[in-house]
Amino acid sequence: MAELGTLVEKVRSKNAGPFWLTVDIFCGSPEAFARVTTGLETARVAHLFGVEPQAMKRFDIPDLNVVKLSVPRPVVQGTRADRDMHGAGWAVLVEEMEIA
């Protein structure tokens, strides 16, 4: 097991418009990409984000060694319950995940 953030170059999360959140995992090499694509369970990310697993869209993009996860924002951007206007803080939940 290892923390995902130690295996990849960068994890970034951002709004994709006010109603969506998108997380990009830049793996940096085919080896890291292979490890992340096999070790990363979408359902676990959904659990960490507090959303239903079927709400998550996942794109494994070998040309870029990137795994992308998109989900309707659990809290719409800027509403009173929103804590993170640009959605940047969600990345740490993925970065700090332990994966096989």
Partner 1 sequence: MTRVLIPTGALGLGYDRAALSRGIANRPDIIAVDGGSTDSGPSYLGRGVSKYSRTSTKAEWRGLMQARAEAGVPLVIGTAGTCGADSAVDWLLEITREIAAETGQTLRVATLKSGQSAAAVKAALAEGRIAPLFPAPDISEALIDACSNIVALAGAEQIAGALATGADIVIAGRTTDTAIIAALPLVSGDHPGACWHGAKIGECGAIATTQPATGVIQIDFDATGFTMEPMALTAAATPYTVSAHMLYENSDPFVLHEPGGHLDVTGARYTALDARRVRVEGSEWIKGDYTVKLEGARVAGYQTVALALLRDRRYVRHAREWAADVQARVAAQIVERMGLAPEDFTLELRLIGMDATLGPLENRTTTPVEVGVLGIVTCPTEAQAAEAGKMLNPYLLHHALTENEPMPTFAFPFSPAEMQRGALYEFCLNHVMRLDDPMSAFRLDVHEVGHG
Per CB under 8 A, residues contacting partner 1 are 14-20, 22, 24, 26, 48-50, 57, 59, 61, 63-64, 66, 68, 70, 72, 76-80, 83-86, 89-90, 92-93, 96
Shortest Å, Cβ 38 to partner 1: 20
Using DSSP, state whether 100 is helix, strand or coil: coil
Residue tagged 């319950």 (tokens): 81
Please compute, for residue 15, the number of CA atoms within 13 A of its CA located in the half-sphere on the CB side: 13
Shortest Å, Cβ 73 to partner 1: 8
Using DSSP, state whether 58 is helix, strand or coil: strand
